[in-house]
């Protein structure tokens, strides 16, 4: 009973450590970058100015000055500058992809949806602005009218820049990795339960069993865009899982004969792998120049190789100094079935030919997939 209680305590501690670790690394770009971004304003001005941003108002400050702006809706935010004697044009911020968000998504794919929600994936395209007065205050009305016309023309030019080009890259190659619940889990868990009940096995919590009998996989894909909304292609995936089990020694209380007083120890190992090949159809439901959101359905072929090894060693005394016998039992089974994948949410981030992917769904590609792709 004490051993079982210690085992339960060990499981609880491991679970709490795993949850704490996920909480620490989840949405790491949001934690590191914070809800605001900083830009520096400098200029040829001989008097204090007042700067108004989406985050704060800076009154009677001298240039250069570092100011904060909100990351939410970072694109096309205005920074207004005024002074007692001069009129200034507004500063308009443009956004770009944050390298920190890319690194965090590579380390922990669970962070990408949160970082996208908080807009931590964006940063100011330009962090240093130099301003000059456009006119004196007494001439401000006419100057501001002209400046508003220039601003309207600039906004229209930016709108056209954000429009999707008529010609676009139709071919996409990608590689990815992932983990979590997998289509192949059912057969693996069924095999482990059967052997666990048969031999009285319990998980041994060895160092390499961080993910247990859940699968880690890698995949390679190709897709062709028929139009803006629909893509067809195929992927191939390889996955592995591994877990260690043990049966604790059985100590006879009153042996009938000394030579039959045996102490048995059992050791089991699950090591399975799968291969999947499936055609894939993707539907894009939102796209701009930097981001694309899509869903996916795939059906194909799955080959599942189930391996379980079990061995027992018996000793004639508790100190295990005299080994009596040992034997091993192994199973090696191959199952073939239909592979499938349903991706509820998929995202590609990248304004050029190289981009990053994050997918959440279920099937032969697991719960979460993180990928790197090239479009041409």
Bridge partners (DSSP) listed for residue 325 = 314
**Is 120:27 a contact under the CB 8 Å cutoff?**
yes
3-state SS assignment for residue 319: coil
Q: Which pLDDT value is given to residue 167?
A: 81
* pLDDT tens-place string over residues 111-140: 667 777 777 778 888 899 998 887 676 665
Cα distance between residue 308 and residue 270, in whole Å: 5
**320 token code pair:** 């295990």
Q: Would you list the domain boundaries of the chain?
A: 28-162, 169-375
**Is 205:246 a contact under the CB 8 Å cutoff?**
no
Cα distance between residue 195 and residue 190, in whole Å: 9
Mean pLDDT of the chain: 78
Q: Which pLDDT value is given to residue 301?
A: 96
Cα distance between residue 32 and residue 236, in whole Å: 36
Q: Which pLDDT value is given to residue 226?
A: 94
Q: How confident is the model at residue 36 (pLDDT cuts 50, 70, 90)?
A: confident
* pLDDT tens-place string over residues 245-288: 887 765 555 555 444 445 667 778 888 899 999 999 999 988 88
Cα distance between residue 302 and residue 252, in whole Å: 47
On the CB side of 100, how many CA atoms lie within 13 Å of its CA? Answer: 18
Q: Which pLDDT value is given to residue 230?
A: 94
**318 token code pair:** 């508790």
Q: Which pLDDT value is given to residue 45?
A: 85
What dihedral do alpha carbons 279, 285, 287, 292 form, nearest 10°? Answer: -50
Could you tell me the CA-to-CA distances from 324 to 118, 264, 318 in Å, in that order?
64, 10, 12
User: Does position 361 have pLDDT exceeding 60, yes or no?
Assistant: yes
Query: What class has domain 169-375?
Result: mainly beta
Mean pLDDT, rounded, for 340-361: 90
Cα distance between residue 78 and residue 147, in whole Å: 14
What pTM was computed for the model?
0.57
Cα distance between residue 71 and residue 77, in whole Å: 10
Which of 76, 84, 83, 43 has the alpha carbon at shortest distance from 151? 76
> Length of the chain, please?
376
* pLDDT tens-place string over residues 167-221: 889 999 999 999 877 888 888 888 888 888 887 887 776 655 555 557 889 999 9
Cα distance between residue 15 and residue 19, in whole Å: 6
């Amino acid at each position: 009973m004490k051993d079982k209680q210690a085992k339960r305590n060990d499981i609880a501690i491991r679970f709490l450590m795993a949850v704490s670790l996920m909480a620490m690394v989840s949405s790491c770009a949001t934690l590191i970058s914070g809800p605001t971004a900083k830009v520096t304003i400098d200029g040829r001005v001989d008097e204090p100015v007042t700067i108004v941003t989406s985050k704060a108002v800076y009154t009677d400050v001298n240039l250069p000055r570092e100011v904060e702006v909100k990351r939410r809706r970072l694109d096309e935010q205005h920074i207004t500058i005024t002074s007692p004697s001069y009129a200034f044009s507004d500063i308009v911020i443009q956004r770009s992809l944050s390298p920190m968000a890319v690194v965090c998504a590579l380390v922990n794919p669970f962070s990408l949806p949160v970082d996208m929600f908080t807009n931590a994936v964006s940063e100011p395209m330009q962090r240093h602005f130099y301003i000059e007065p456009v006119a004196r205050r007494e001439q401000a009305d006419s100057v501001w009218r002209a400046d508003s016309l220039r601003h309207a023309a600039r906004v229209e030019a930016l709108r056209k820049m954000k429009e999707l080009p008529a010609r676009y890259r139709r071919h996409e190659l990608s590689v990815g990795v992932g983990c979590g619940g997998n289509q192949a889990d059912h057969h693996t868990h069924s095999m482990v339960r059967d052997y666990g009940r048969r031999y009285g096995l319990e998980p041994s919590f060895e160092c390499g069993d961080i993910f247990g009998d859940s699968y880690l996989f890698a995949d390679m894909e190709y897709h062709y865009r028929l139009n803006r909304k629909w893509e067809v292609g195929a992927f191939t995936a390889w996955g592995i899982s591994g877990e260690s089990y043990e049966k604790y020694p059985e100590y006879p209380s009153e042996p009938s004969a000394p030579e039959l007083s045996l102490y048995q120890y059992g050791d089991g190992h699950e090591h399975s792998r799968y291969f999947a090949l499936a055609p894939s159809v993707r539907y894009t439901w939102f796209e701009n120049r930097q981001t694309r959101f899509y869903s996916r359905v795939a059906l194909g072929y799955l080959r599942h190789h189930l391996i379980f090894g079990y061995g027992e060693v018996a000793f004639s005394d508790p100190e295990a100094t005299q080994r009596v016998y040992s034997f091993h039992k192994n199973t090696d089974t191959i199952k073939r079935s239909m592979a499938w994948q349903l991706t509820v949410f998929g995202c590609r981030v990248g304004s050029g030919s190289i981009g990053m992917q994050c997918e959440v769904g279920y099937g032969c590609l697991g719960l979460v997939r993180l990928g790197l792709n090239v479009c041409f």
